Amino acid sequence: MVKHNFNAGPAILPRIAIENTAKAVLDFNGIGMSILEISHRSKEFQAVIDEAFALFKEIFNIPEGYQVIFLGGGASTQFAMVPYNLLEKKAAYLETGVWAKKAIKEAKLFGDINVIASSAAQNFTYYPKGFNIPTDVDYLHITTNNTIYGTELREDLNSPVNLVADMSSDFLSRPVDVSKYALIYGGAQKNIGPAGVTVVIVREDILGKMSRTIPSMLDYRTHIKDGSMFNTPPVLPIFTLNETLKWLKNIGGLTKIEEMNIAKANLLYNEIDRNKMFVGTVEKESRSRMNICFVLNEQYKELSDTFMEFAKNKGMVGIKGHRLVGGYRASTYNALPIESVQALVNCMQEFEKMH
């Protein structure tokens, strides 16, 4: 049976990236050693990380004055690392989901936090709009896509203060005007690679202005200075990230992948809106292209487990909604082919006919 991988992360990767990683695990570049056992300071791995830096800058169209670094610790470490490096007195945050709430919690350890907009009262079923950004803060932090609730901000805000964005679950899914951001970060395990590496893009002139002393490992300048080699980096995830970037460039970059992601999202949302058995869980203007959340209509609620089992038997993997939301969630990340989305749509239509 063909498996259709809708997992929310770790998530589906391009097949060529997986195959090339598997080859490198057995024998990296014909050197007779595995990528798992070579030195991170070897010329062979240096070539990999150099290519990954260059590809990221090219594909994401990163301007001069910005640095790309590869770190461990996941986006959750960035929740503390961002305020450690940027928060002197006060920062503004949007509260748009679980991960935004966790970022707010960590930032409160370093200064005053002004939550300027929140959708918590409506269970994060929309992305706030029309909020005012204060000018007396060190930065504004946003989470562009909310994996659990299925909302997304697809515009680059015009911010009067430094704009910081957690793009973990929509990184490289569309073109972005990087010049509007002071710092962008994200864990790789949605669109970029396997779990274990986190990407940070930072405008270098915002660093080094804190009155506090920052531990070396938590100081972005440390990792910029040493080319992400201050300590042993996550070698294998960086290799797979590089293979994924090569795949993304070969298919046409961010303009092409956005076109593909729009087609996948439209296909599934159109079926959710058409099918009498299903209903979306977020307002239409805030719908994510990456994490599509839906439930059974009220009159069909008793069939929730039945549909889950039916879909599983049709090869659908990972469509169970997060425990905080319930229902179903189809994560349609970059590497997911539109044929898998069509298979889920066919599954929903067949289930409708049965009931």
Q: Is the pTM of this model over 0.85?
A: yes
Q: Per-residue confidence at 1, pLDDT binned at 50, 70, 90?
A: confident
- What pLDDT is attached to residue 115? 98
* 95 and 233 both lie in a single domain: yes
Single out the residue in 203, 218, 251 at which a domain terminates. Answer: 251
* 226 and 264 both lie in a single domain: no
Render pLDDT for 35-58 as a digit per residue (tens, 0 to 9).
999 999 999 999 999 999 999 999
| Cα gap 243→249, rounded to integer Å | 10
Please say whether the beta carbons of 325 and 97 come within 8 A. Answer: no
| Cα gap 293→272, rounded to integer Å | 10
Which residues are known catalytic residues? 99, 166, 190
Count structural domains, the chain: 2
* 164 and 303 both lie in a single domain: no
Single out the residue in 192, 218, 251 at which a domain terminates. Answer: 251
Does a structural domain hold residue 3?
Answer: no
- What pLDDT is attached to residue 186? 98
Mean pLDDT of the chain: 97
DSSP assigned state of 218: G
Strand partners, 316: 4
Any idea of the CA torsion for 81, 85, 87, 91, to the nearest 10 degrees? -60
Helix, strand or coil, per DSSP, at residue 17: helix
| Cα gap 332→12, rounded to integer Å | 9
Name the residue with tokens 């059974």. 296
Does a structural domain hold residue 278?
Answer: yes
Nearest to 9 by CA among 258, 274, 332, 304: 332
Does a structural domain hold residue 223?
Answer: yes
The domain in which residue 264 lies consists of 252-354
Please say whether the beta carbons of 285 and 126 come within 8 A. Answer: yes
Q: Per-residue confidence at 324, pLDDT binned at 50, 70, 90?
A: confident
Does a structural domain hold residue 30?
Answer: yes
Please say whether the beta carbons of 66 and 203 come within 8 A. Answer: yes
Helix, strand, coil share (%) of the chain residues, nearest 5: 40, 20, 40
Q: Per-residue confidence at 343, pLDDT binned at 50, 70, 90?
A: very high
* 296 and 326 both lie in a single domain: yes
Q: Per-residue confidence at 140, pLDDT binned at 50, 70, 90?
A: very high
* 334 and 277 both lie in a single domain: yes
Does a structural domain hold residue 46?
Answer: yes
Strand partners, 293: 329
Render pLDDT for 59-109 as a digit per residue (tens, 0 to 9).
999 999 999 999 999 999 999 999 999 999 999 999 999 999 999 999 999
Does a structural domain hold residue 7?
Answer: no
CATH number, position 319? 3.90.1150.10
* 201 and 282 both lie in a single domain: no
- What pLDDT is attached to residue 57? 98
* 143 and 167 both lie in a single domain: yes
Q: What angle do CA 168, 325, 157 make, to 5 degrees?
A: 40
Strand partners, 113: 91
* 36 and 78 both lie in a single domain: yes
Single out the residue in 194, 225, 251 at which a domain terminates. Answer: 251
Does a structural domain hold residue 232?
Answer: yes
Which alpha helices (H) appear in the chain, and where do they start and end? Answer: 15-26, 43-59, 74-86, 98-107, 220-225, 235-251, 253-274, 304-313, 338-354
CATH number, position 39? 3.40.640.10
* 233 and 345 both lie in a single domain: no
Does a structural domain hold residue 292?
Answer: yes
